A and B are shown apart, each in its own frame.
Chain A
């Protein structure tokens, strides 16, 4: 029986986490290894086996080219975007352009879309929850960075669908953290959530009011600013130092680069608790004279801080801007919550404290609160007793492209959803009989700097001089964040509309075929566990029977009955062996019973005669 419970998944750049509300209490579900977070890593082994999580991370160095990390940085982005160019320049896995300007990742000669990769992580999280609950899970709330645009959100939704989940809502990570902070506490407070994770930075300012209302006042961020970037600074520095000493560019060697990455991150984390550490990578590369070279460098906290200072400064600038957008003073913020692994860095805690002029709260867990919040939202949506309502805002402005390539805003940034807005536009050319409505998202005045969400054409306009035909454009965002746009010719009353299903880079058909593949994969995986167990049992029995064969043969060879029994036993053993080679679980299980009977019988025969 599938449970009605909704799981909350924090699909992070580096780590993912799954939670659920049980008996009104939000709880993080640990994975089989007992860890509460699971690395968002996916790998394919030489044998074509898929690995997700810790196991994928462990083999990352030796299988760097077939191990995907930080796929979130690519999700819902265009192949040609500077962010993608940037990200793949340093990645150890191979990427190619997909059929819809999207990114495809090549693992062992097979191309995967980014949502497919994310789906593998989601599926893993789903299995963790199912193991824990002992029942299939169907519904989930997934979190995304607040500053994700609709294409990225849609791609995340698609990933959920591919993983066979009904994604009942996508919510923002900092909002989720605030939910886990305020849930059931009956607060009246204005809080700021500073979320600095592995790949993204987000800041949200919320108001928690009575009646369990959580209202987002303003939100902003940078989807390309995270711990990865701090690591990159450290890697750069190490590469430079090494080059200076040995005149060798470590970047040329993928394996060395992967080791550097690991070491840099490790050093960064260590420096959160100690003032000095060392990066120690023996045999990192061979010199031209074929002698082994080692990388050994002491790194101080001060150095790390100096290398990442401007990144931290950038987060503070965004905080300043957001506070302004919220029309609030620093003193209006009554609590500052720190979320994301990077906030363990003392320098960051200090910078945030200085900016908000208040000690950040220790009230939420930096790694778990996002998943907990997602679970809470899921619980509140489907549950009967509504203990909370989340009033969220649009993180980006929505509008259309007007003459000259300008972006005309219809729904401003930070507007509470659901909402709808109207504006009247006119034709821009003489005798224009059709208008193309390009739906855009972003804050730039120039349309091409913003994200295209969708387009449609309103035809059959009356021939008229420019500026004369009036077209009323209506934008609507519903509670699910789905954008619909309607254009109406005020002259004729003709109307055209679309529901903007932001393009995740995948078509409907692709998603459903990927979904089926993912299902197959899951059956595969599940059954392989089962197979393993059955195989072992069958092999044990076969081994024992075979061991007894000579003795039994000796004892019963004289009687016809005995010979018949031995022949039957041989058939059973052969069938079982056959089933094992064919990896047919059902067949193996069928044979196990016969094997067990034969084994019992053989044992009995032997015992009697001794």
Chain B
């Protein structure tokens, strides 16, 4: 999908969700209706509407004292205000049409086919078609027959092409299945990332700790049973992350987790100091008893979580398992066996996560969406640190999507390091260097590759090309 570059409107400080919201405003939907329609958080809708209003993009229909309760509209005045900020020539389009085109253009880059057509995931063919027809009747180029559309012509065509792709994909059974699998992978990955988010179990750890303290004080008291299962049950994990800035934060959290730092673990208990004297002895034994009680309570708690972890493993809920083990470990940080179990569960969860990333990346590569493909290959590479292929694909996708070349270089180098004799890795790395304007490095890489494969046509051709250009 070609991305849209434009000035004016496209330079307004809006993000995709705000663009999405803007594109839904039709003058009749109220704030509440918009919230419901978009599935966005109500607070977010309110804040965004304020922002859109302050940018002069929208106005509110009614003039009573609670204007914000009224339906926001793209009033001509407000629309014109926005339009004057466009440097693009819009020809015969009305300001409302321009806004619609602009907002939809923003939306295109991120939204799913379902979001674009504004249909729910379980929409049947008929509903998809209706939605498509509704949009198509609005943006088919024939609607603007022999009109001067200026810069908007291309954008309208892109929008039409994209809604047609959405329609074609969602009305074809196999294509929709593929696409749904892709979305499911994306969703799974997001909720896994979310569920594995260490901060989520901090509360649970604190609770477990409190329970330990509690039961050591009063051995007769029953162990608290109020463990919120959904705090670490992936199936129940809130599906919120769709609209929280999930991508960035959970990514860093994931990275942090992969680096082995586990926030929220409590320091091991201080060693008990040896002491002398009667009272001291009494104190001592009291302390020891207290300590023993704590210890056994701690162990009991840990055992409980361990059991939960095992049960979760049994039913294949790897996230719940990993989280349960992590809580157990926070209670007994030195327990080798627990560590091993937690490691295994974590590894299994990572494997699933990794698979989804890989499938997404492959789908995106097929759809020539290299920007997204690069992101997912990078994630795979971060988990499978010894997977040369993933590193190479990531580097390749980054180059093809004009991504971060520094990162591409690191990935390419790692691929080469993992499989030094693999010519393709070196070629990719050489391409990274070339893209970064480092022909000498590229040359070095290719010369090495040539040693392994003296006959390789691509390698010699690239070498010749470098020789020619320098």
Binding site for B on A (CB under 8 A): 168, 207, 209-213, 215, 327, 380-382, 386, 389-391, 416, 418-420, 422, 462, 464-465, 467-468, 478-479
Contacts and interface: CB of A to CB of B under 8 A. Distances in A.
A479 B141 contact: yes
A207 B129 contact: yes
Given A209-B133, A416-B168, A422-B368, 5 more contacts: A211-B136, A327-B172, A416-B164, A464-B461, A468-B457
A213 B461 contact: no
A418 B136 contact: no
B133 A210 contact: yes
Contact of A462 (B129, B137, B157, B465): B465
Contacts of A386: 137, 142-143
Interface in B87-136: 129-130, 133-134, 136
B164 A419 contact: yes
Given A210-B130, A381-B142, A382-B145, A391 B136 contact: yes
B160 interface: yes
B437 to A, nearest CB: 15
Interface string B151-183: 000000100110010001000100000000000
A386 B161 CA distance: 20
Contacts of B137: 211-213, 386, 389
A478 B172 CA distance: 24
Interface string B444-470: 000000000000011011001100000
Interface residues of B, number: 25
A168 B142 CA distance: 11
B140 interface: yes
A184 to B, nearest CB: 15
Which of B129, B136, B142, B172 has the most chain A CB atoms inside 10 A of its CB? B142
A209 B168 contact: no
A479 B157 CA distance: 9
A213 B143 contact: no
- Chain A interface, >50% SS class: mixed
A420 B153 CA distance: 14
A211 B134 contact: yes
Contacts of A465: 457, 460-461
Nearest to B171: A327
B243 to A, nearest CB: 30
Nearest to A215: B133
**CB-based closest 8 A-B pairs:** A211-B137, A213-B133, A209-B133, A479-B141, A381-B145, A389-B140, A465-B457, A468-B461
B142 A380 contact: yes
A462 B142 CA distance: 42
A382 B143 CA distance: 9
Contacts of B161: 418-420
Contacts of B164: 416, 419
Contacts of B465: 462, 464
A231 B200 CA distance: 82
A471 to B, nearest CB: 15
A389 B136 contact: yes
A283 to B, nearest CB: 57
A478 B129 contact: no
A209 B160 contact: no
A366 to B, nearest CB: 27
6 contacts: A168-B146, A209-B129, A211-B134, A215-B133, A418-B161, A479-B141
Nearest to B153: A478
Nearest to B464: A464
A468 B172 CA distance: 36
Contacts of A389: 136-137, 140, 142-143
Nearest to B138: A211
Given A327-B172, A389-B142, A468 B130 contact: no
Contact of B160 (A215, A381, A418): A418
Contacts of B140: 389, 391, 479
A538 B263 CA distance: 112
A213 B141 contact: no
A323 to B, nearest CB: 15
Contacts of B160: 418
Contacts of A380: 142
Nearest to A420: B161
Contacts of A215: 133, 136
B96 to A, nearest CB: 15
B143 A211 contact: no
A416 B460 CA distance: 43
Contacts of A211: 133-134, 136-137
Contact of A467 (B143, B146, B457, B460): B457
Contact of A418 (B129, B141, B368, B460): B141
B136 A468 contact: no
B133 A479 contact: no
A500 B363 CA distance: 33
A422 B465 CA distance: 26
Nearest to B140: A389
B401 to A, nearest CB: 14
Contacts of B146: 168, 381-382
A468 to B, nearest CB: 5
Interface in B366-405: 368
Contacts of B142: 380-381, 386, 389-390, 479
Interface string B222-252: 0000000000000000000000000000000
Contacts of A390: 142
Nearest to B468: A462
A379 B327 CA distance: 72
Contacts of B130: 209-210
Contacts of B458: 468
Contacts of B168: 416
A213 B145 contact: no
A478 B142 CA distance: 10
A40 to B, nearest CB: 28
B279 to A, nearest CB: 86
Interface string B331-370: 0000000000000000000000000000000000000100
B18 to A, nearest CB: 27
Contacts of B460: 465
B158 to A, nearest CB: 9
B60 to A, nearest CB: 28
A390 B140 CA distance: 9
A405 B125 CA distance: 40
Contacts of B143: 386, 389
B370 to A, nearest CB: 13
Nearest to B457: A465
A478 B158 CA distance: 11
B157 A213 contact: no
A426 B173 CA distance: 34
A380 B146 CA distance: 12
Contacts of A478: 141, 157
Nearest to B460: A465
Nearest to B129: A209
A445 to B, nearest CB: 23
A390 B142 CA distance: 8
